[in-house]
Amino acid sequence: MERDDVIEYSLDAHHSEEEGKVLRKKIWKVTALLTIITVVEVLLGAFIKQGTTIWPIVKWSFIALTLVKAAYIVLSFMHLGDERKVMRYVILIPYFIFIAYLIFILLTEGIYVDDVLKSHGV
Amino acid sequence: MSGHASKQIDTSTLWGGKISPFSTSYGKLMMWFFLVSDALTFGGLLIAYGFTRHDAQDAWPIGEETFNSMPFLGHGFPLLYVALMTFILIVSSVTMVLAVEAGHRMDKKGVIKWMVATIIGGFFFVGSQAWEWSHFIHGSEFGKVELVDGSQAIVRGHFGEIKNFTVIEAGSHHAKGAVIKDDLMHQFQHAVEAGKINDGVITLHDGSKAKITKEADQHMELIIKKDGKTNKVGTKIHGKNAEKMYYEAIYSGTPHKVIYGANLEQNEYGPQQYGQFFFFITGFHGFHVFSGVIINIIILLGVIAGTYHKRGHYEMVEKTGLYWHFVDLVWVFVFTFFYLV
Question: Over the stretch B81-127, which tens digit does the pLDDT of each residue have?
Answer: 888 999 999 999 999 999 999 999 999 999 999 999 999 999 999 99
Domains of chain B: 27-139+273-340 (1.20.120.80), 144-262 (no CATH)
B167 closest CA partner among B213, B198, B199 = B213
Same-domain status, A24 and A61? yes
Mean pLDDT of B293-300: 97
Looking at residue B133, what is its pLDDT?
Answer: 94
Q: Is B240 exposed, middle or buried (0-12, 13-18, 19+ CB in 10 A)?
A: exposed
A54-111 tens-digit pLDDT: 889 999 999 999 999 999 999 999 999 888 888 999 999 988 899 999 999 999 999 9
The answer to whether position A77 is within a domain reads yes
Are residues B25 and A82, on separate chains, in Cβ contact within 8 Å? no
Chain A residues with CB-CB distance to B78 below 8 A: 45-46
The 3-class SS string of chain B reads CCCCCCCCCCHHHHHCCCCCCCCCCHHHHHHHHHHHHHHHHHHHHHHHHHHHHHCCHHHCCCHHHHCCEECCCEECCCCHHHHHHHHHHHHHHHHHHHHHHHHHCCCHHHHHHHHHHHHHHHHHHHHHHHHHHHHHHHCCCCCEEECCCCCEEEEEEECCCEEEEEEEECCCCCCCCCEECCCHHHHHHHHHHHCCEECCEEECCCCCEEEEEECCCEEEEEEEEECCCCCCCCCEEEHHHHHHHHHHHHCCCCCCCEECCECCCCECCCCHHHHHHHHHHHHHHHHHHHHHHHHHHHHHHHHHHCHHHHHCCCHHHHHHHHHHHHHHHHHHHHHHHHHHC
Q: Which of the residues B29, B46, B47 would you substitute to probe the A interface, choosing the one with the greatest number of A C-beta atoms within 10 Å?
A: B47
Number of domains in chain A: 2
Average predicted confidence (pLDDT) for chain B: 88
Looking at residue B6, what is its pLDDT?
Answer: 53
B173-184 tens-digit pLDDT: 888 888 888 888
Helix and strand numbers (H, E) in chain A are 3, 0
Same-domain status, A99 and A64? no
Same-domain status, A41 and A67? yes
Same-domain status, A24 and A56? yes
Does B194 score more than 90 pLDDT? no
- The domain of A59 spans 18-82
Confidence class for position A16, pLDDT limits 50, 70, 90: confident
Is any Cβ of chain B less than 8 angstroms from the Cβ of A45? yes
The answer to whether position A7 is within a domain reads no
Same-domain status, A77 and A94? no
Mean pLDDT of A34-47: 88
Enumerate residues 6+ apart whose C-beta is below 8 A from B162.
B184, B185, B188, B212, B213, B214, B215
The answer to whether position A25 is within a domain reads yes
The answer to whether position A10 is within a domain reads no
The answer to whether position A2 is within a domain reads no
Same-domain status, A76 and A31? yes
Does B5 score more than 60 pLDDT? no
Chain B CA closest to residue A94: B36
Is any Cβ of chain B less than 8 angstroms from the Cβ of A70? yes
Q: Which of the residues A24, A84, A104, A105 would you substitute to probe the B interface, choosing the one with the greatest number of B C-beta atoms within 10 Å?
A: A84
Rounded to 5°, the CA angle A79-A103-B330 comes to 35
Looking at residue B232, what is its pLDDT?
Answer: 83
B115-142 tens-digit pLDDT: 999 999 999 999 999 999 998 998 888 8
B7-60 tens-digit pLDDT: 666 777 667 766 777 888 888 999 999 999 999 999 999 999 999 998 887 778
As a whole number of angstroms, the distance between CA B94 and CA B90 comes to 6
Same-domain status, A65 and A90? no
A78 closest CA partner among B326, B7, B6, B111 = B326
Chain A CA closest to residue B309: A11
The answer to whether position A96 is within a domain reads yes
Is any Cβ of chain B less than 8 angstroms from the Cβ of A107? yes
Mean pLDDT of B225-236: 84
Same-domain status, A40 and A75? yes
Same-domain status, A52 and A94? no
State the nearest Cα–Cα gap between A90 and chain B, in angstroms: 9
Chain B residues with CB-CB distance to A74 below 8 A: 325, 329
Same-domain status, A93 and A41? no
Of B91, B325, B333, the CB nearest to A66: B333
Average predicted confidence (pLDDT) for chain A: 87
Does A5 score more than 70 pLDDT? no
As a whole number of angstroms, the distance between CA B48 and CA B40 comes to 12
Output phi, psi for B226, to 5 deg. Answer: -140, 135
The answer to whether position A67 is within a domain reads yes
Same-domain status, A102 and A118? yes
The answer to whether position A12 is within a domain reads no
Chain B residues with CB-CB distance to A63 below 8 A: 336, 341
Does B3 score more than 60 pLDDT? no
* More confident of the two residues B46 and B77: B46
B106 closest CA partner among B308, B320, B318, B316 = B308
Same-domain status, A26 and A72? yes
Confidence class for position B2, pLDDT limits 50, 70, 90: very low
In chain A the first and final C-alpha atoms are separated, in Å, by 70
